[in-house]
Structure 1
Amino acid sequence: MLPDPTHTNELDVTSCRALLQSPKPPLLIDCREANEYAYCRIEGATLVPLSQFASLCEAEFEARNTPAIIYCHHGVRSLNAVFYLRDQGYTHTFSMAGGIDQWSLHIDPLVPRY
């Protein structure tokens, strides 16, 4: 179950993993650039680079209440993406705190760090 978006913008990697393993997982959006995505990514993620977010994000979401976890390298770009999406009316978007770096450290050490 997703947390209340009025109380948090970020989820730790353990919470993200639990949500991604749930029967109805949220979208997983990687907002890094294509070269970063090519180097490493979390399985099942869709690349929507932050530099192209405004033009591409609507195509990825079925509705304004579509749940999504967004990640980047360390969590700064993904948090900006969440703020942007919430300003656009997307209510259930969350940033993965610490990004793919924390995912690699605490969830899947096979994901390369950089």
Structure 2
Amino acid sequence: MQQLNPNDLAAWLADDSRAKPVLLDVRESWEIAQCQLPGITHIPMNEIPVRQQELDPDAPTVVICHHGMRSYQVAMFLERNNGFAQLFNLAGGVAAWADQVDPAFPRY
């Protein structure tokens, strides 16, 4: 797993020459209702073990949460137990996205 800062994710999403990553948001539903990046796949952290088959282990996947800790734990789980090879943790989560990329992004 690699750490990915918000500015690098923004550049990746804007780069039409690169395949877009899966944006796996592992926050709770109430958090998603507050704010979310466009095009996310939402699977709450506690549902990952039973829903991991919904994810493609060969696809580049950026795991997202509020501050980057839950996403780090999920990425470690997927990497260790399921052979995901292209995992990225969004360092600082959506809070860092709001700080570094989009000041208008809702905060909670």
Q: TM-score, normalised by structure 2?
A: 0.90
Q: Which has the higher contact order (CA 8 A, sep 6+)?
A: 2
- Of 73, 76, 83, the residue aligned with 1:89 is 83
Structure-1 separation of matches of 2:11 and 2:62:
12
Q: Counterparts in 2 of 1:1-114, with a 5 A limit?
A: 5=1, 9-23=2-16, 24-61=19-56, 64-87=57-80, 88-114=82-108
Work out the CA distance in 1 between the residues paired with 2:37 and 2:105. Answer: 7
For 1:108, the aligned partner's letter is D
- Kindly indicate which of the two structures has a greater share of residues assigned to helix: 2
Looking at structure 1, the residues matched to 13 and 51 of structure 2 have their Cα atoms a distance apart, in angstroms, of 22
Residues 34, 107 of structure 2: 8 Å contact kept:
no
Q: For each residue in 1:7-34, what CA deviation from the matched residue of structure 2 results, as whole angstroms up to 9, or x when unmatched?
A: xx21111111112223311111111001
Q: Which sections of structure 1, spanning at least 5 residues, go unmatched?
A: none
RMSD across aligned positions (CA): 1.2
Mapped to 2, the partners of 1:60 and 1:111 lie a distance apart of 27
Q: Give 3-state SS (helix, strand or coil) of 2:79's partner.
A: helix
- Unmatched runs of 5 consecutive residues or more in structure 2: none
Q: What is the aligned residue count?
A: 105
Q: Distance in 2 between matches of 1:68 and 1:22?
A: 16
Q: Percent identity?
A: 31
